[in-house]
Structure 1
């Protein structure tokens, strides 16, 4: 038998049509999980009017979802290995649907925050299990790679189209519709998944370290709660101690990961510089994108007075560029290599957010659109390239852990951007606004746009908005410098000393 025939004999067969239908069904919940990280960006003014949350409650309504998903992604990856990915998918989709239904009719900010946390609990089960189930559908490695690429593109698209879908719904329906839209997709998935998908379990599932789960989730929530309260109301001893306690729990979490046999976070991977740059890119690109997207929606509606639908339509050019950038990034990497692509990613994000400095109280739509178009080039590169770069930078034996960390960095970055940069805007607003309101939405709810102090509120918001743009741009430029210094040029070896490598085996080179 010749070599060609031998290869043909050992090549797995092409996937049947049922596998592609199974992929399509599984992508529905994946899209929803990503969308719900951003779908409320345009809905918050309507929610503010309906249930009157405080400024920090508004930030929690947005943030709690990303924090819970990011904190539990790796945990539920292990749970799925032990108890079955398909079973976990079905349970997670049910919880996600229940949270969506309850959230649509939440009568108070506290209940809405709790419903968002419930949705996130379901969402955290969906992403790692969906990826494992999709991989199992395709034995052919070429088709499996294509399916995983479609999975990644769908997840990235969800973040981008969330605000647009929210704006379109809110132009005709009440704010709860942004949650009810989830229910048909969940119902279709629950009805078809048991028929189309197979159960998947890990061959050697690791033990779940509950102490690590508590330390990571508790540390994040305490630290961010303290930061938000201090930003909104000023510092006091109680909330200063809460921030310190949160930082202490996160420090204890990191130290614990270096000592236990089955860590949630494999800190040893961060000894590989290329991996570290990739994860920081995933974290900080979503950090910048989420804050810029949310605060820009507030700017268009609360400062310039545009409707929800108009604000959503102004976001479309950036969404188109981001989608095209994600699609064509693999071709860019083939021509230039990951180093140049990542540097271009960071520089375009920085240039894009700096254009927000041209926005004003009377006009600024053109600057906003230009900002989203330029920055979206970088965001698209990031969404497409980060996971592949992270996985390619570590040994094959640790590819799964690298992929999980990359997904987690996206979710945590999405939540941190709104929490930290949103809190920065709040601090600046409080320092520059002569009234008692802590944000422009709160001012409009209490006094309306006809109040003589509305111009002062607009100016205070813009000062904070521009401060956020400067900090975000500086963050992106710092990442560009890090990529230039730490990522080797094509044909050069990584300069990380061999003794600090994440694994004695040589790392696989990326594309």
Structure 2
């Protein structure tokens, strides 16, 4: 294995064994991760202003929101492999350039169609940034303890960006026009372009076999229709067309897996899943993000539409959880050193379950501290488990395959988020409609509250019934998350081998 990491034997090394220049390089690598995660959430606050300025149709508005995530989910595995073959830093910088140009186009988009195209380009660029940055950590930090700390910082940036997106967006939109939520990417990417070539080493796997173009096509034909079908069913209900699209995606994924078993240089190395730690980590990413995504979406609506807080206040209420995620992401390696890998994984999943269980105490008049306490408990669990996911995935494969492996884990994160919004959101909506108590509800809480407002004083009963029904739906989704996380904790206890503190300290 050959890397182009600058020689560190002649440079000062810190007591942990990692070159100080590598830690500065890690700081540079967190910048694109922060932006990619922020751009998932920052747009929600800008949609009203975008709708007023560009007048998109309902379908166009859906695509403005979702095309970015669709393409990231569909291309992560592909871009992880491309980085392994062409050079991870090269792909990182190329993706950053595309992301920056697309951000400028989005900021000044004159029509909804141009904005959708710009968001699509941002998704392509974002798909190169995530696996490239994570896989570079594997060869920058060969020491297991240093790598765990570095991945904790990377995870904190990823989770923190998602939580800070609405807060930053709310502040900027209060003072500027909607395009500023895209322009904030440009100065951050400028820092990456200046500092990246100086602080981040290049790495390219010594694998010169032919690239699996058929695998790329089959993976995208599988993932994109499936994610689209799941999200569309959550938003608009089940229809024959959407079911057919979902079935097509499943068939393409089956063909993709069959192809990967036969091809000499597979895009997705199925042998990785024979490693129980790798499989467990991917499962944690999928189920954990499903629970977190569903909780974040449902509680956001709860704070604004049930409790009546404004958007910025609701976003600020999420900061304690964001801080918990960030702090415990960075400190996850110490938890492993003290408890062992299996105990840390199981404990973190159970903490997330406790946090979701506490949401059952939320009501139309419950004090805000209940929300803050239990989401913070969940944040501790999510921070530890997501950091461990990245560490285990990168550490369980040869360094020349870490790009492909990190692409798998990041795809699990994105699919988990989509499933959380779709499955848990659909469950909450189903309970909401079933608990109408004789009232005629709209499709969503927002529609029903608007109808109640139009009724004047006579709509008070409808509004109260809708709020109560929504809380019931949120409780049902929270309980489903608790069950899923509890089942995952049991599985992890059985399939994962214990790892002692001495194992963690080994290089």
Q: Structure 2-normalised TM-score?
A: 0.83
Among 436, 440, 443, which residue is 1:438 paired with?
A: 443
For 2:302 and 2:57, the matched residues in 1 are separated by 18
Cα deviation, 1:265-324, whole Å, max 9, x if unaligned, reads 222222232221111112221221122112222221222221222112211221222222
- 2:178 aligned with 1:186: no
Contact kept, 8 Å, 1:218 with 1:246, in 2: the verdict is yes
1:488 alignment counterpart:
497
- 2:28 aligned with 1:25: yes
Q: CA RMSD in A?
A: 3.6
Among 444, 452, 476, which residue is 2:485 paired with?
A: 476
Query: Is there any run of 5+ residues in structure 2 with no aligned partner, and where?
Result: 1-6, 14-18
For 1:117 and 1:178, the matched residues in 2 are separated by 16
Structure 2 SS opposite 1:265: coil
Query: Is there any run of 5+ residues in structure 1 with no aligned partner, and where?
Result: 1-8, 492-507
Cα deviation, 1:145-189, whole Å, max 9, x if unaligned, reads 755554344334323333333343344444443322212112333
- 2:408 aligned with 1:405: yes
- 2:400 aligned with 1:370: no
Among 285, 289, 305, which residue is 1:286 paired with?
A: 289
For 2:150 and 2:478, the matched residues in 1 are separated by 36
User: Measured at CA, do residues 170 and 298 of structure 1 come closer, stay the same or move farther in structure 2, by a change above 3 Å?
Assistant: farther
- 2:475 aligned with 1:466: yes
User: Measured at CA, do residues 226 and 21 of structure 1 come closer, stay the same or move farther in structure 2, by a change above 3 Å?
Assistant: closer
User: Measured at CA, do residues 77 and 397 of structure 1 come closer, stay the same or move farther in structure 2, by a change above 3 Å?
Assistant: closer
For 1:119 and 1:165, the matched residues in 2 are separated by 19
User: Measured at CA, do residues 417 and 52 of structure 1 come closer, stay the same or move farther in structure 2, by a change above 3 Å?
Assistant: farther
Contact kept, 8 Å, 1:295 with 1:465, in 2: the verdict is yes
- 2:298 aligned with 1:295: yes
For 1:146 and 1:350, the matched residues in 2 are separated by 25
Shift of residue 381, structure 1, vs aligned partner:
0.9
2:16 alignment counterpart:
none
For 2:50 and 2:407, the matched residues in 1 are separated by 33
For 2:435 and 2:217, the matched residues in 1 are separated by 38
For 2:255 and 2:233, the matched residues in 1 are separated by 24
Among 332, 337, 342, which residue is 1:334 paired with?
A: 337
* Aligned residue-pair number: 487
1:254 alignment counterpart:
257
For 2:398 and 2:28, the matched residues in 1 are separated by 32
Stretch of structure 1 that moved more, 155-164 or 286-295: 155-164
Cα deviation, 1:66-107, whole Å, max 9, x if unaligned, reads 332232123122323443434323321122123323334556
Contact kept, 8 Å, 1:63 with 1:415, in 2: the verdict is no
Shift of residue 200, structure 1, vs aligned partner:
3.9
- 2:109 aligned with 1:100: no
Contact kept, 8 Å, 2:163 with 2:318, in 1: the verdict is no
Among 390, 393, 396, which residue is 1:390 paired with?
A: 393
Cα deviation, 1:90-144, whole Å, max 9, x if unaligned, reads 3211221233233345567665444333211111112233345566667999867
- 2:129 aligned with 1:120: no
